Amino acid sequence: MTYATLPLVSIYDTTLRDGAQREGLALSIDDKIRIAHRLDRLGIPFIEGGWPGANPKDVQFFWQMQETPLSQAELVAFCSTRRPNVSAAEDSLLQPLLAAGTRWITIFGKSWDLHVTEGLKTTLDENLAMIHDTIAYLRANGRRVIYDAEHWFDGYKCDPTYALETLKAAIAAGAEWLTLCDTNGGTMPHEISQIVSDVKCFLQAQSVLPQIGIHTHNDGEMAVANAIAAVLAGAQMVQGTINGYGERCGNANLCSIIPNLQLKLGYPCLPGDRLTSLTETSRLVSEIVNLAPDDHAPFVGASAFAHKGGIHVSAVERNPLTYEHISPEHVGNRRRIVISDQSGLSNILAKARSFGIQLDKQDPQCRLMLQRLKDLEHQGYQFEAAEASFELLMREVLGQRSHPFVIKGFQVHYDAQAGSDALQTTSLATVKISVNGQDILEAAEGNGPVSALDAALRKALVNFYPEIEGFYLTDYKVRILDGAAGTSAKTRVLVESSNGHQRWTTVGVSSNILEASYHAVVEGLEYGLLLQAERQSLRQTLVEGTR
């Protein structure tokens, strides 16, 4: 089969419903609306919004989405089949489903006789009637239906005859898609291939129209492989979530499935050049759900195209194909040269170019940078995770570091008093800085020593650099480097900061955690000002170029 004749694979995103079932993940209505519109811009054709009626938030979400409709995607409401021994028209579960106002509805029903008799406590025949009546009722009310066959693969392996009867009931009632669900996430790829092929042959023998979808979970670390195996066997819809979020071990990760299908196998999934915004979408969703991005995620992770070993860097500089399976730009990512004690001059030169700095390999400053790097990493610094600090180090060696402010000293006071329930704590930091030869003394409180120090620094600097108000800390990590030293152990602190457009990480190392934090926080502010100055310079250049 050639690329031109491969069928379109319809991507069905369930981040807002199944993904939100991940432990520790909670979405507000505004969060769900932002994610839905971002997925719409990515080109996802089906976006499952939730279960209207299951909770007030999902009801309100569908109401608000009617006020801000999607531009190209179908918003899908989700629900179970009717309850046993109640007509679909009388079941209160289905009324909010219709009120959600979506053209498409996904209904899930039981495929496994174990779940029918043990879970629903009803008969096998009644389960078939529940599937048929629910779908027929929704079709009579003008809705198009996707049928999710829950626990399909376990049910089929246990009793294939009955499992196929559940599909017949959905087909007879008018379902347009039959999604086969590996709900427990324990099926293997070869089983997926065989069973999807069996279902495809069954449908062809019945001369029926519904197409096959696949919904996989990652309990056996097979969700992506299983989804791709299903497509190769004939499935034309893939359900999954951004970043693989989901209950237990997660759902199939669309950020891996989509590029594998589209770039490796030639199945069109997203229109035009939308694939180039996949990395941006992944990181935006992780930001909205307040979970740190997985740096080592395939395709979209910050380390997906990172090169650390000197031999690797030298080879990639000559030809990226030597150590990259695709061009990172295809998915909106970028190549990174990682700096560490394993680096060679190739790493230094490549990293300098990424900062816009051109160096000559014969320049003795290159050797000086490499030696400074190795010395500092021996002390416990980790520049592969703190590229902003390394750029400042590089500019220091080259004499290009501007030092927009100088810290002359700081003090931090931490008070703890016994309260009615727990210790009542306060932190106060005082800093003395110099900007353009002018000394400033400021103090500020915080909910901890580092917070107070950060607040005092900002308070002292904001009158000189108003843009600092837009900087904020996104992550703070502490690592004990030599635990055997007890409370005297050397500590490494990584601080990740953002200005709303970019993220950068700085590092500090000391046997005093406050001193390590101070260095990381100060460099974070300094690097943010450097980025701001570069953005202003670029804007000025563009303005002058249009005159």
- pLDDT tens sequence across 499-535: 888 889 899 999 888 999 999 999 999 999 999 888 7
Return the top range by mean pLDDT from 55-59, 253-257, 408-412: 253-257
Return the top range by mean pLDDT from 219-223, 306-310, 322-326: 219-223
pLDDT at 345: 72
Per-residue b or e along 138-154, where b marks 16 or more CB atoms closer than 10 Å to that residue's CB: bbeeebbbbbbbbbbbb
Range with lowest mean pLDDT among 250-264, 344-358, 430-444: 344-358
Mean pLDDT of 216-240: 98
Q: What is the dihedral of CA 71, 74, 75, 78, to 10 degrees?
A: 180
Range with lowest mean pLDDT among 5-14, 203-212, 388-397, 484-493: 484-493
**What is the amino acid identity at position 470?**
G
Rounded Cα–Cα distance for residues 523 and 509 (Å): 12
Which helix (H) or strand (E) segment is 383 a member of? Answer: none
Q: Answer with the residue of higher pLDDT: 352 or 137.
A: 137
Rounded Cα–Cα distance for residues 427 and 448 (Å): 5
> Tokens at residue 296, please?
């080592």
Mean pLDDT, the chain, as a whole number?
89
> Tokens at residue 215, please?
């919904």
pLDDT at 2: 39
pLDDT at 321: 81
pLDDT at 446: 87
Q: Taking the mean position of all CA atoms in its chain, how far away is CA 491?
A: 29
Asked if 175 and 146 touch (Cβ cutoff 8 Å), the reply is yes
Residue 3 pLDDT grade (very low, low, confident, very high; cuts 50, 70, 90): very low
3-state secondary structure of 364: helix
Residue 230 pLDDT grade (very low, low, confident, very high; cuts 50, 70, 90): very high
pLDDT at 486: 66
Termini Cα distance of the chain? 54
Mean pLDDT of 422-444: 88
Helices 513-546 and 449-461: angle between axes, nearest 10 degrees: 30
pLDDT at 98: 96
Phi/psi at 299 (5° precision): 70, -55
How many CA atoms, within 13 angstroms, populate the side-chain half-sphere of residue 526? 25
pLDDT at 192: 98
Residue 394 pLDDT grade (very low, low, confident, very high; cuts 50, 70, 90): confident
Residue 138 pLDDT grade (very low, low, confident, very high; cuts 50, 70, 90): very high
> What radius of gyration, in Å, describes the C-alpha atoms of the chain?
28
Which helix (H) or strand (E) segment is 514 a member of? Answer: helix 513-546
Q: How far is CA 43 from CA 56, 64, 355, in A?
A: 28, 21, 33
Beta strands 104-110 and 144-150, pairing class: parallel
**pTM reported for the whole predicted model:** 0.71
Helices 364-379 and 387-398: angle between axes, nearest 10 degrees: 140
Which domains are seen in the chain, by residue range? Answer: 8-271 (3.20.20.70), 306-398 (no CATH), 405-464 (3.30.160)
Q: What percent of the chain has pLDDT over 90?
A: 63
Asked if 257 and 224 touch (Cβ cutoff 8 Å), the reply is yes
Asked if 391 and 356 touch (Cβ cutoff 8 Å), the reply is no
